[in-house]
A = this chain, B = another copy of it.
Amino acid sequence: MYLSKLMAVKKTLEIIYNVKRTCEKEKIALDGANMRVLAEDIQVLNDVPPFDRAAMDGYAVIAEDTRSSSESKPTFLEVVDDIGAGYISKYVLDKGEAVKIATGAQMPQGSNSVVMEEFTEDLQGKIKITNSVDTHENVALTGEDLIKGETILKEGQILGPHHLAIIASSGYDQIKVFIKPKIGVIITGNELIEPSEQLKPGKIINSNKYALKALIEDSLANPSIIHSDDDLDMLMNIFEDFTARYDGFITTGGTAIGKGDLIIDVINELGEVLVHGVAIKPGKPFGFGIINEKPIFMLSGYPVAAAVQFDMFVRNYILKMQNITKKFDLIKCIAGSHIYSNKGKCNIIRAKLDKGIVNPIRTKAGINKSIVLSNCYIILDEDIIEVNEGENCNVLEYRTLKIC
Report which A residues bind B (CB closer than 8 A): 1-2, 30-31, 34, 45-46, 48-51, 53, 55, 57, 84-88, 103-106, 117-118, 140, 144-146, 152-153, 160-173, 189-192, 194-197, 199, 201-215, 217-218, 230, 256, 258-259, 301, 303, 307, 364-369, 371-372, 402, 404
A144 touching B86, Cβ below 8 Å: no
Chain B residues with CB below 8 A from A88, complex form: 201-202
Q: How far is the CB of A302 from chain B (nearest CB, A)?
A: 8
Cβ of A306 to closest chain B Cβ, rounded Å: 9
Q: How far is the CA of A383 from the CA of B259 in the complex (A)?
A: 71
Q: So how many copies of this chain end up in the complex?
A: 2
CB-defined A-B contacts under 8 Å, sample of 22: A2-B118, A30-B210, A31-B213, A49-B204, A53-B204, A57-B259, A105-B191, A144-B366, A145-B368, A146-B368, A152-B369, A160-B214, A161-B210, A161-B212, A162-B307, A164-B211, A165-B368, A166-B368, A166-B369, A168-B207, A169-B207, A170-B195
Q: Which residues of B contact A144 (CB under 8 A)?
A: 364, 366-367
**Alpha-carbon gap, A365 to B193, bound state (A):** 58
Complex CA–CA separation, A303 to B168 (angstroms): 12
Least distance between A273 CB and chain B CB atoms (Å):
18
Q: Judge whether A210 and B105 touch: CB under 8 Å.
A: no
| Residues B117 and A364 in contact, CB atoms below 8 Å apart | no
B161, B301, B364, B372: the one contacting A166 at CB < 8 Å is B372
Q: Take A46-B199, A86-B192, A196-B171 as given contacts and tell me if A164 and B210 are in contact as well, using a CB distance cutoff of 8 Å.
A: yes
Q: A146-B369, A160-B218, A168-B210 are in contact. List 18 more A-B contacts (CB 8 A).
A: A31-B210, A46-B199, A49-B366, A50-B199, A85-B230, A86-B191, A86-B203, A104-B189, A106-B201, A144-B366, A161-B213, A162-B368, A164-B213, A165-B303, A165-B371, A167-B195, A169-B195, A172-B195
Nearest Cβ on chain B to A398's Cβ, whole angstroms: 9
Q: Nearest Cβ in chain B — how far from A114, in angstroms?
A: 13
Residue numbers in B under 8 Å from A146 (CB-CB): 368-369
Among A87, A162, A173, A191, find the residue whose CB has the most chain B CB atoms closer than 10 A: A162
A210-B258 contact in complex given A204-B50, A218-B34, C-beta closer than 8 Å? no
B104 & A140 in contact (Cβ 8 Å cutoff):
no
Other-chain residue from B53, B87, B163, B173 in contact with A196 (beta carbon distance below 8 A): B173
Question: Could you tell me the distance in whole angstroms from the C-beta of A158 to the nearest C-beta in chain B?
Answer: 12
Q: Do B85 and A145 touch across chains, with their CB atoms under 8 A apart?
A: no
Of B168, B197, B301, which contacts A104 at CB under 8 A?
Answer: B301
Task: Please indicate the chain B residues that have their CB under 8 angstroms from the CB of A196 in the complex.
Answer: 171, 173
CB closest chain-B residue, reference A306 = B165
A165 to B371, CA, bound (A): 10
Nearest-Cβ distance from residue A65 to partner chain B, whole angstroms: 23
Chain B min CB distance to A332 (Å): 14
Which residue of the partner chain B has the closest CB to A164? B210
A168 touches B209 (CB 8 A): yes
Q: How far is the CB of A335 from chain B (nearest CB, A)?
A: 23
**Within the assembled complex, what's the spacing in Å between the Cα atoms of A128 and B21?**
48
Are B210 and A167 within 8 A (Cβ)?
Answer: yes
CB <8 Å contact, A207 and B165: yes
Q: Given contacts A140-B366, A191-B86, are A301 and B162 in contact (CB under 8 A)? A: no
